[in-house]
Amino acid sequence: MPLGLLYTHHIEISESSQMLKGRLQFFQELLHFDLMDQPLDNFIQQNKYNFSDFKHELHHKQILAAIQEERYFQPVNSAIDLCRFFMMEYKLPITFHDLKQLNLPLIFENDHVYDQTGKVASPNEFATRTQTNMSTSEGVHIFFFPKDFDMQNGLELLQAAGKMFCHIHGGEFKIKIHS
């Protein structure tokens, strides 16, 4: 499974701005109407993922299912809110981790990402020990791409996400692809 890693450095996480809160609410409402017209499976493309653990739903499926039922997400902080926006916009499982909480290097095995301590993420799981908070200054987003994803599009998507993330949080970003 191809993965996109978006490393961010020197960032400042805060309460979400009114603009981000408004856009998140508006986008959720738009998605709700789209989801009324089509089955959820059309949006998530679960069959394009080779994940080994079926105990939990894909991250973005959980978000889209809640929106379909008009259970909109309330703002948490700028980083979590933007990560949720990325999942809704790109219709991909995406996780965001505090880089300082990871015991590097990262290890990639099938559809799972590990550090030296244990599992960090998969398309449907997230290690709370690496969760971000308002003091996070270094982070990494993990984008789980479908098995047949065009990685040129993936690079463009990561570039756009990095620019948007750093526009809101400051800092700079680097992209790595793991396939």
List average pLDDT for each run of 10 residues in the chain, which is 179 residues long: 95 96 94 88 71 66 90 94 93 95 94 93 88 96 91 96 98 95
pLDDT given at position 156? 97
Q: Give, as one character, the DSSP assignment of residue 135.
A: T
pLDDT given at position 53? 55
- Its domain, for residue 60, covers 3-178
Domain count, the chain: 1
Number of other residues whose CB lies within 10 A of the CB of residue 87? 21
Closest CA to 61 of 81, 91, 95: 91
In this structure, what is the dihedral angle of CA atoms 132, 1, 59, 10, given to the nearest 10 degrees? 20
Q: What is the CATH number of the domain that holds 105?
A: 3.50.40
Q: pTM for the full model?
A: 0.92
